[in-house]
Structure 1
């Protein structure tokens, strides 16, 4: 409301400046004084802030029209050189092209800002030839008014949506107030009412922004607080607290029992540790039950952690055996003597990689060393094969996949990185294709145009390569 009040004051100020400019055009005959007053009016116009959106087009159009009338009515303007008029005409046509290009702009705020900016530039340019003026003016203002109408329609729809959201929120406030006012004497009743209030809170989150947003949120929060404060008073001092704690601990015992047979060592260990934290946070229950419940809970936790320790010992043995097998593969790679058949050599090296990938984990402390030796042994052969850039990138990607395939987060990061490259290349292609439209000579002999077309082809090929890399990642992740 305060912003609207300011905008209405700005509207009155701008309408007064329009009348002042109209009087200047009609009455002032002294050229020097007229220009001084005109420049003063323009400076004051630019200092005035925004007006209501539904008045912007009318006031701006009238002020722009009077500016042009001023330029044509003052005799000194006739002394401007034809060169200046040609420059002005060129600038205005450029603005026509720019305002037409805004047709593709979907961001309303950016569209609003851009249109106003172009109108400001239009007003600053000055007059052009009279016989060209009507055509270029109609072209510019026809597009500008269309964009202004689009902006106004958007904000009008937004205001209507906010008004609708306000009514929805008031209805939700009424529902919570009705629930808060009801009398309840049983826990089941309180639980049912709590479920309803929580459901209303979830519905509130989905409504969206509204008019009077802060004040209605305060009303809603106060209504919810009244309900939950009443609920708190109901439970305060009741002897059922220990019973509730016992129920929670029984639930934790059940969860621990369900997890005790799991072999997902890391996630399950984290879950059980969190259950142990939850157990402590619940607090004590009836003394006669506390030790019995704790022994049950602890036994399920011990069952899992003992099994995990046994598994780690078995895995350590397996990892040492895997290390020996990988060291053998490295020796075979080093001993490999390439033939003159490049394709056959590639297949042999890929076979080494496939064999390597089928072997499981090695001891963690040996992981980096063994992989480095393996990669160096392979790279030494690949360098002798004189591969083209695409083959090198494919092999490099395969090496990278070998190092990250067991780490889902690293795999996802790599996929995201490749997708960002594809998006950037696609954007560049779109820009290059747009640039082609500015070439007057489309015969195919223009060197600049040929270079742009080569860039488009290179980007398309690179996109195909990157898509193949994504397929390699998806295949390796299966």
Structure 2
């Protein structure tokens, strides 16, 4: 019989392993010596040690699934429980128990991680849905469309949730995209219709503009071209393939008309520039009549100047206000001289002015007497009130006296 600390072989060739529960039969060995039998089953034990070591390393350092790890542990544990090796089988069982605890901890960790990822994915998808539903109401068609396409790519990169939750969120997400696409399609359909109306309107405007291009009725035609331009702007844009051609025709017709008008106006401007020089000379001649010292002579001279002025004709529009303003200033000076002369020679107006002056003077004198009486009586408040009234009457009197002076009195 042969033995070692963990097993023995009896005289019949039966191999035993020692456990805390007593000896367990490992197997029968008839092919050699007892020592060879023990060595064989000890090698089987070492094989289990190596296998457990490798499994411990895989659980610790790889992403071996809990299911696969548990199957491997159960396989090794079955070999240990069948006692087909000689060694410290209980130590191996304890290592397997520790592995089970480690795998379970990994399982719980992965479960928690998966729950966290699922929760994050849920929040991310809910945020995508909320943004998509907001974009569904946007009228920034290009930007919103590009953003919705980007949201789809982001959605595809997120983990799936449980079928019910994922389907519900996807339904909302898809509905928002469909609503946006429907609104955008309707918008561009309406825009196409508007552009067709604009094209028809601009075709009509072009036809009229081309018909007017040969007109020599400069003022009304230029005014009509301004109206056509306003109508053009109000019509909106036609389709891109038509807009540029229509504009070139519309603008070209106007260019023909305005080029012809500019040629005529250039000749007219040359003539009017010469007229301006003549009128400026007459303005200088008229300005010499001011200040008016001889009213009758000034009136006759201005009449003569004005007759020559009317015979000259038009001057450039931008110069007209200034040169005409100079003549008007002389005319006003003569009129003011006539009014002053009339006031000096009008006896009724002089009598009215003298009567008003006398009344005001009497009122001023009366107020002064009342003020003196009030102060003598110690009634300063009444005196002050009368003094303020006196100031107003005195101002009227001064003005009346000045007007009386104009009559030469």
TM-score, length of structure 1 as denominator length: 0.31
**Structure (1 or 2) with the larger CA radius of gyration:** 2
Higher share in strand: 2
Higher share in helix: 1
TM-score, length of structure 2 as denominator length: 0.36
